[in-house]
Amino acid sequence: MSVATRFAARRTLLLRGGAALIAAPWLLSSGRAADLPRFALGIASGQPRADGVVLWTRLTGPALPDSVPVQWEIARDEGFREIAARGEELAEAAWAHSVHAEPAGLAPNRWYWYRFRALGQQSPVGRTRTAPAADSASALNFAIASCQRFDVGHYAAWRHMAAEELDLVMFLGDYIYEYPSGKNSVRPLEGTGIVRTLEQYRARYATHKSDPALQAAHARVPWLLVWDDHEVGNDYANLQGQELEPDFRAQRAAAYQAYWEHLPFPKAARPRGPDMRITGRLDWGTLARIHLLDDRQYRDTQVCPKPNRGGSNTVTLKSCPELLDPKRTLLGLEQERWLADGWDTARPWNLVAQQTLMARFSWTDAANGAGTYWTDGWDGYAPARQRLFDSIVQRKVGGVVVLGGDVHSNYIADLKRDFDDPASPTIATEYCGTSITSLSFPQSRIDAVLGFNPHLRYGRSDQRGYMRFALDAKQLQAQVRVVDNALDPASGIATAARFTTEASRPGAVAT
């Protein structure tokens, strides 16, 4: 049976079976089907290709059957007069009634609209798009965002993001936080205590995804996503949690499962136990290759932790000479090789979407080896960072732009072949975006140390928002978009700074 015929058959069944459905006990106990919020977490799309995209939703509400057929359709127009593809997926309780539909055979480089239907209800309509064909020239408008801790702010940034004219959103980690509400809480979280079980992770995603502004940003454009630590637990590394939890493997499996269940990843990415591959690549026509990295799952544990703990520390080379051990890796050797072998020397741009600040950041004057190193970020894996930089130089890769998050601050940096040598050439450019809501240091602390890190062209810890970019074959134009007040859901937004990077000349220039 063709997909289209199957959809029509299912539709007929639903219409004819209406009386039987109304008699079902889960409806008798919960009211009429139309009153139940079956799409309360919204819809989303992701992983756009030239011929397809992933469509996501998760059914919600009381007394869902173990297995629920969900119809989806994707159209060339907002009114759904020209259907491009349709089909059916089973939403299963074992996977939180999530739906990951994968329409294929779409046309490259165009917009589509999609929606779902299940249990007598229709979802909101989402807009998405395909990537340009690999051999066609095209521009790319995109934004990066990260760190959307729910209880410490409101999502005005997402409301503004949904109004931008973008092709893609790249979310670079900390989609949820595992913490209970703290003293800075401005809106309530479900539950109490630290999130560790599958049910708790699911509930935490549901809380974050209940926000209408976040739902609007998902419904507007496709997303690419990588995770950071808080999707599992603060500062975790590979199979080690910060508290050296004895059952961390089971916790990571639960966390990865909930991550897949709530985001637009394809079925092929569904985790197996504590493993899920998010590393990937997307070519945007002849313009750019986008590399999506995972610096959590495969890393060596952080060096020189605090006593009887895992996780991060801030150290010096003198107190922690292990920092220079060349055997340690942040990406894992396999992913390191994958990246080094996958640089694109034909397209003008290589965009590296990853979790954290890549540029050197010292809290003290780094002269004579006296600088500080935060062991959870790239500074804690400096020889691995050097190998990555060496691969850029050796392969003569132009237009490398590193995109990051994690540090809840806007940093724009010239990435130097050797950060300890001010005369060293700039080999790539970094745009590390601030948090949507998550809190950071006072700006006075950053102002006091920017001079120790002269490759940083911009550093602001007192800004919440996102960065937006316009990319063409010659130039990247960046805007630092900052909300007036992240505690106010109605907050305005402004552009706090503008930078450009030329494809032929690495480095960021304020404009």
The contact set with Fe ion (CB under 5 A) reads: 147, 174, 438
Q: How far is the CB of 263 from Fe ion (least distance, A)?
A: 17
Q: How far is the CB of 125 from Fe ion (least distance, A)?
A: 31
Question: Which CB atom, from 371 or from 405, has the smaller least distance to Fe ion?
Answer: 405
Q: How far is the CB of 208 from Fe ion (least distance, A)?
A: 13
CA distance 220 to 333: 37
Question: Which CB atom, from 439 or from 470, has the smaller least distance to Fe ion?
Answer: 439
- Burial (Cβ within 10 Å: 0-12, 13-18, ≥19) of residue 133: middle
CA geometry: angle 358, 445, 357, nearest 5 deg: 10
Q: How far is the CB of 406 from Fe ion (least distance, A)?
A: 6
Q: How far is the CB of 438 from Fe ion (least distance, A)?
A: 5
Contacts of 393 by beta carbon, 8 Å cutoff, 6+ apart: 417, 427
Question: Which CB atom, from 175 or from 284, has the smaller least distance to Fe ion?
Answer: 175
Q: How far is the CB of 435 from Fe ion (least distance, A)?
A: 6
Contacts of 120 by beta carbon, 8 Å cutoff, 6+ apart: 14, 18, 21, 33, 34
Tokens 């919440």 appear where?
A: 464
- State both tokens at 8: 């029509």
Question: Which CB atom, from 242 or from 438, has the smaller least distance to Fe ion?
Answer: 438
Question: Which CB atom, from 438 or from 453, has the smaller least distance to Fe ion?
Answer: 438
Q: How far is the CB of 174 from Fe ion (least distance, A)?
A: 4
Question: Which CB atom, from 118 or from 359, has the smaller least distance to Fe ion?
Answer: 359
Rounded to the nearest 10 degrees, how much is the dihedral formed by the CA atoms of 379, 170, 471, 162?
-140
Q: How far is the CB of 440 from Fe ion (least distance, A)?
A: 9
CA distance 78 to 220: 12
Question: Which CB atom, from 145 or from 282, has the smaller least distance to Fe ion?
Answer: 145
Distance from chain centroid for Cα 438: 15
Q: How far is the CB of 402 from Fe ion (least distance, A)?
A: 17
Residue 500 phi, psi dihedral angles, 5° rounding: -130, 155
Question: Which CB atom, from 236 or from 452, has the smaller least distance to Fe ion?
Answer: 236
Question: Which CB atom, from 229 or from 261, has the smaller least distance to Fe ion?
Answer: 229
CA distance 219 to 116: 12
CA geometry: angle 166, 259, 216, nearest 5 deg: 35
| Residue 59 contacts residue 39 (beta carbons within 8 Å) | yes
Cβ burial 249-286 (10 Å sphere, 16+ → b, else e): eebbbbbbbbbbbbbbbbeebbbeebebebbbebbbbb
Strands 288-292, 349-353: parallel, antiparallel or unpaired by DSSP? parallel
| Residue 491 contacts residue 159 (beta carbons within 8 Å) | no
Q: How far is the CB of 227 from Fe ion (least distance, A)?
A: 11
Question: Which CB atom, from 178 or from 283, has the smaller least distance to Fe ion?
Answer: 178
- State both tokens at 81: 């007069």
Q: How far is the CB of 6 from Fe ion (least distance, A)?
A: 43
CA distance 83 to 112: 9
Question: Which CB atom, from 71 or from 434, has the smaller least distance to Fe ion?
Answer: 434
| Residue 126 contacts residue 218 (beta carbons within 8 Å) | yes
Question: Which CB atom, from 57 or from 438, has the smaller least distance to Fe ion?
Answer: 438
Nearest residue to 360 via CA among 344, 338, 377 = 377
Residue-by-residue DSSP string for 396-434: T---EEEEE-SSSSEEEEEEES-TT-TTSPEEEEEEE--
Q: How far is the CB of 230 from Fe ion (least distance, A)?
A: 6
| Residue 304 contacts residue 319 (beta carbons within 8 Å) | yes
| Residue 441 contacts residue 463 (beta carbons within 8 Å) | no
